[in-house]
Chain A
Amino acid sequence: MTQKLSAVPLWQDRRFRGAIFNFFIYAILIAVGAIILLPLSWMLTAALRGEGETVFTVPTSWFPTESFHFENFARILTYESYPLWRPTLNTLFLVTLNVIGTVLSNSLIAFAFARLRFPGRDLLFRIIVFTMLLPGAALLIPSFLLFNQLGWYGTYYPLWVPAFFGNAWSIFITRQYMRSFPRDLDDAARIDGCGYFGIYRHIILPMSKPVLTVLAVFTIVGVWNDFTGPLIYLSNSDQFTLAIALDYFRRSAFSTMSVNTTNLVMAASLLSVLPILILYFFLQEYLIGGIASVGLKG
């Protein structure tokens, strides 16, 4: 021991330097983690404040330690002037339709591009890749003009019908995944008397569950959080989704409710954040894996 110490000074010892290095890594990781988590923790603290209690304490209370008014969540769901249970159900309705549409349409389309031969396939696929470059916001007004002409303004149609017609990015990642299965599978199924739809339904679809889960999770998160679409197409506050209802609630809370309703507004914000967070914790591999694959395609 002493021999070793005399041979190598402490600051040159590999293990010692490793420990110092790890200490700094953890210090930064924890600092960044705190910057991300503390605002959310403050949201919870504020959401659990009782009526008349101040939300903005000096110094800031980051953690819920004294007030635990869980009834706030029930209150916002059934609030007299603007109950949030309805927007919550509306959002769930849209999420469900979008998930069904996305999984169904993109798996069918991607199956053909991945497993079948047909004239024009490569050209059509190149068009799909090209449309991936088009930024979503560029289509905001163009789509509005079309849906308005169709008389779909003030209805849910613009917010779910397009999901049933495929989406470039989803087709792309699903096709990449479906291409990775061996060709023999299709041939074996065909010998067993499977038609093309049978191959899709019984062979490829079950094997594509991971990538379809990625699509589903992204759709859930995207539709649940979507602000622009509902903002543009919905006119009646009975139709509002949670994202716009939340802002609507905040504004009306400020103008009509009692002086300090920040606790209720924070409870409402938490209502819109919490289900997605729970989903994220259970399915994070799919979400992060999906995001990573987008980046890698370059």
Chain B
Amino acid sequence: MADIQQLSVRATTIEKEPKKMHLARREAIAAYLFISPWIVGFVLFLLAPVAISLYASFTRWTLIGPPPRWVGFENFEQIFTRDRYFWSSIRITLEFILLTLPPGLILGLSLALLLNQKVRGIRLFRTIFYIPAVVSGVAVSILWLNLLNSEVGAVNQILRSLGVVDPPNWLNSTQWVRPAVAIMSLWGVGGTAVIYLAGLQNIPIHLYEAAEIDGASSWQAFWKITLPLISPTLFFMLITGLIASFQVFTPALILGTGTGGFFSPSPELRFYLVHLYTVAFREGKLGTASALAWIFIILSGIVTLGVYYISEKWVYYEESGVNNDTKT
């Protein structure tokens, strides 16, 4: 009897243990089945291309023609020493960043502050401000191509009526073509305002109430409360803005080609990505283009880390981690 009891006890423990393990294993197997598309995609569409392009950057690899041939560091050497467009594309891109990023950050935050006012009909304005962010870049570029027409375009008509005797030639001027693209991209700055707005609305109201009780002016409240608490968002926008500026492409390709050849950009608008595209698909040098892509990957990594390092000094995180887990 006792034996049987003992036996049954042992039987249940034996049975229970594997069942529990079995359950955890079943859950793991199920989970891996669920995420299998990502694993396949990660290997196939991310690791594989990155590996191929790393290899390609050390080869002479052409769009059409002989199979790739190993050339060592020749592509990089060529880019850094003999490619006359490489340095100019970096310079043009940096200049464009200076032209668009500071005004973009300031305008975006100002619009967000404006949208944060509790006045009637504010949602309608939010809807309007965000429109440029959803419309096609090609259509917008073609639209501005017409608005910026130096003789009959609307922009210069406005300038003339304001008394500007000799308004810029915009797209036909080597000097004004980049400011023209900058104006176009600043037209879409309302898209970023929405992100700042979410940051502003996350600031607890009691901080402002406390400041008001202490007799702080709204100007002081902005510098002491709003700006520090919005700094993580500003920092995020700075990084994404920097990296986005290196990816200016559609407007440059459409405004820059004007009515000339099919997708052959003018030198003034040969931004980094435009240069990369031209090398790859107009000149068919995929090896060199891969090297350019890798330079870009490394550069954006450095920029992200660098800005991150600098930001430690001035970005204020209310209890570290509070921003990492915001529920959607």
Contacts and interface: CB of A to CB of B under 8 A. Distances in A.
Contact of A25 (B53, B119, B142): B119
Given A36-B187, A145-B290, A273-B135, A133 B304 contact: yes
A185 interface: no
Given A116-B31, A296-B326, A140 B293 contact: yes
Of the candidates B27, B142, B195, B327, the one having the most CB atoms from chain A within 10 angstroms of its own CB is: B142
Interface string B212-251: 0000000000000000000011011100000100110110
Interface in B179-199: 187, 190-191, 194-199
A171 B42 CA distance: 13
Interface in A134-169: 134-146, 149, 162, 164-166
Interface string B32-55: 101101101110111011101100
B92 interface: no
A59 B135 CA distance: 27
Interface string A245-288: 01100110011000000100110011011001100110010011
Nearest to B39: A124
A128 B205 CA distance: 35
A145 B236 contact: no
Contacts of A26: 119
Which secondary structure dominates where chain A touches chain B? helix
Contact of B129 (A33, A141, A165, A276): A33
A141 B31 contact: no
B27 A292 contact: no
Interface string A105-139: 10011011100111101001001100101111111
B121 to A, nearest CB: 8
B9 interface: no
Given A36-B132, A121-B31, A145-B52, A266 B114 contact: no
Contact of A228 (B46, B154, B249): B249
A176 interface: yes
B326 A293 contact: yes
Contacts, number: 288
Interface of A: 22, 25-26, 28-29, 32-33, 35-37, 39-40, 42-43, 46, 55-56, 58-60, 62, 105, 108-109, 111-113, 116-119, 121, 124, 127-128, 131, 133-146, 149, 162, 164-166, 171, 173, 176-177, 180, 195-197, 200, 211, 214, 221, 224-225, 227-228, 231-232, 242-244, 246-247, 250-251, 254-255, 262, 265-266, 269-270, 272-273, 276-277, 280-281, 284, 287-298
Given A291-B191, A295-B196, 11 more contacts: A29-B119, A139-B46, A139-B49, A142-B49, A142-B53, A176-B327, A200-B34, A231-B263, A277-B131, A292-B197, A298-B233
